[in-house]
Amino acid sequence: MASLDIGIDLGTTSVIVYMHGKGIILREPSVVAVDTRDNTVMAVGEEAYEMIGKTPAYINAIRPLRDGVISNHILTEFMIKEFLRKTSKSLMIKPRVAICVPSSITDVESRAVVQAATNADARKVFLVEEPIAAAIGAGIDIKEANGVLIVDVGGGTTDVAIISLSGIVRSDSIKVAGNTFDEAIIRHIRQKYKLLIGERMAEKIKIELASVFEPSENEKTTIKGRNLVTGLPQKIEITQADLYPALLECAMEIVASIRRVLEKAPPELVGDIYSNGITMTGGGCLLNGLDKLIASHIHVDVRRAEEPTDSVAIGTGNVFDYISDLSDGFVNASTYQH
């Protein structure tokens, strides 16, 4: 029954669960709060996210998937189990679960993910690579012999891939994505204004003000932090143009990654991409001007998927339609159990 197929986008920033026929059924930050006195988990998801930067010394709010790799197996497993428990407790039959994993994931890490889902009562577990899920979620028919270029800008990694005939033909993955822009903002404000700001404030500035294409002197925002010299709280005003050079440097690494993939690609497929354009997915692709910057350097049209933040989850939930066709980027992970 199709409604018992679940797709999980196990992202660095957030975990999104999509159920075939129902849509998005869970969206929570990928954060776990741990009590370091006895190593017990205090909160998972939204509740743990609220604790970031505000915890007493004995509570640690951890992102177990930081930078697109599983930096903490036990907590990742805990998180998967908790989210699956939340979403599937009302189901009468055990679901088939497809999980989208970062492309740099190791074999050992894959096993940990599969084990976690199996322990959480999944009937069958499949692993999907992020570019494949992103393409399906962006509404692309990946079965065609027609090259498409996907650029998924997440929180921890940017994945660039050319897909044709249900497989990944060429790809590149870099650890430059949404978080990198936040870090660049923090660094810039610290160096130029001697003001220390937190990661949540930096993300807010990125979403509300930042631009990596033709920045304006007139777009401004007020930011609050702690002055590093006086140690006191301080408010300053910054402009879009002020942040631009620091952000451009990171954005150009994404452009370079796209260029590397195109340089290695068979000419026929490059021709397809010239006609089809580039499709961007992932929350990080919403950065103001990133589409225009890429188009101006690569000289092809760039479009954002309709719901970029949800594309991977939607594609993971719908990957079951392609089970018989997928040659690459799709692993029947349930075999790991035997």
Ligand X SMILES: Nc1ncnc2c1ncn2[C@@H]1O[C@H](COP(=O)(O)OP(=O)(O)OP(=O)(O)O)[C@@H](O)[C@H]1O
Interface with Mg ion by CB under 5 A: which residues? 11, 154, 312
Query: Is residue 178 at the binding interface for ligand X, with CB under 6 A as the rule?
Result: yes
Where are the strands (E) in 1-147, listed by range?
A: 5-10, 14-19, 23-29, 32-35, 40-44, 59-62, 96-101, 124-129
Query: Is residue 52 at the binding interface for ligand X, with CB under 6 A as the rule?
Result: no
Query: Is residue 316 at the binding interface for ligand X, with CB under 6 A as the rule?
Result: no
Binding part of the chain for ligand X, among 77-85, 177-185, 226-234, 260-268 by CB under 6 A, reads: 177-185
Q: How far is the CB of 139 from ligand X (least distance, A)?
A: 17
Q: Which amino acid is at 237?
A: E
Contacted entry of ligand X, Mg ion, none for residue 300, CB cut-off 5 to 8 Å set by kind: none
Query: Is residue 207 at the binding interface for ligand X, with CB under 6 A as the rule?
Result: yes
What is the spatial distance between Cα 264 and Cα 270, in angstroms, rounded to a whole number? 10
Report the alpha-carbon angle 174-176-308, nearest 5: 95
Query: Is residue 283 at the binding interface for ligand X, with CB under 6 A as the rule?
Result: yes
Query: Is residue 248 at the binding interface for ligand X, with CB under 6 A as the rule?
Result: no
What is the spatial distance between Cα 283 and Cα 161, in angstroms, rounded to a whole number? 17
Q: How far is the CB of 310 from ligand X (least distance, A)?
A: 9
Q: How far is the CB of 130 from ligand X (least distance, A)?
A: 6
CB hemisphere CA count around 231 (13 angstroms): 0
When the beta carbons of 4 and 248 are compared against ligand X, the nearer one is 248
* 3-state helix, strand and coil shares in percent for the chain, rounded to the nearest 5: 40, 25, 30
When the beta carbons of 225 and 283 are compared against Mg ion, the nearer one is 283
Give the closest residue to 162 by CA, choosing from 258, 97, 74.
258
Query: Is residue 12 at the binding interface for ligand X, with CB under 6 A as the rule?
Result: yes
Query: Is residue 177 at the binding interface for ligand X, with CB under 6 A as the rule?
Result: yes
Token pair listed for 326? 């997928």
When the beta carbons of 11 and 147 are compared against ligand X, the nearer one is 11
Query: Is residue 203 at the binding interface for ligand X, with CB under 6 A as the rule?
Result: yes
When the beta carbons of 240 and 316 are compared against Mg ion, the nearer one is 316
Residue nearest to ligand X (CB): 178
Q: Which amino acid is at 273?
A: I
Q: How far is the CB of 229 from ligand X (least distance, A)?
A: 29
Contacted entry of Mg ion, ligand X, none for residue 59, CB cut-off 5 to 8 Å set by kind: none
Contact 310, 162 (CB under 8 A): no
What's the chain's Rg over C-alpha atoms? 21
Q: Which amino acid is at 233?
A: P
What is the spatial distance between Cα 7 and Cα 254, in angstroms, rounded to a whole number? 27
Contact 302, 313 (CB under 8 A): no
When the beta carbons of 95 and 178 are compared against Mg ion, the nearer one is 178
Residues making contact with ligand X (CB under 6 A): 9, 11-14, 68, 102, 154-157, 177-179, 203, 206-207, 282-284, 286-287, 309
